[in-house]
Amino acid sequence: MRPNTYQEAREMMLPNSHLIVRYSTQFYRFVEGGANLVAPDKEVLTRWEDVRVGHDPVLEWALQQ
């Protein structure tokens, strides 16, 4: 998730094509330096094999906390 982002969406209709266009009017900066992300405290990796057999390591980790 990126905390620095454009927000406050507006929309307008183009006069000839009548297409509706959405655009942002404000840029919000919540992180000044470094990476533009909010990182989790703990990253739990999920493999395709886990998904295939119905195993959810993220849920298991959360239930252990």
Domain that holds residue 23: 5-32+40-64
10-residue mean pLDDT series, the chain (65 residues): 87 97 93 82 91 92 92
Does the predicted model carry a pTM greater than 0.85?
no
Instruction: Assess contact for 46 and 55: CB atoms under 8 A.
Output: no
Instruction: Assess contact for 3 and 31: CB atoms under 8 A.
Output: yes
| 62, burial (CB in 10 Å: exposed 0-12, middle 13-18, buried 19+) | exposed
pLDDT at residue number 1? 64
Number of domains in the chain: 1
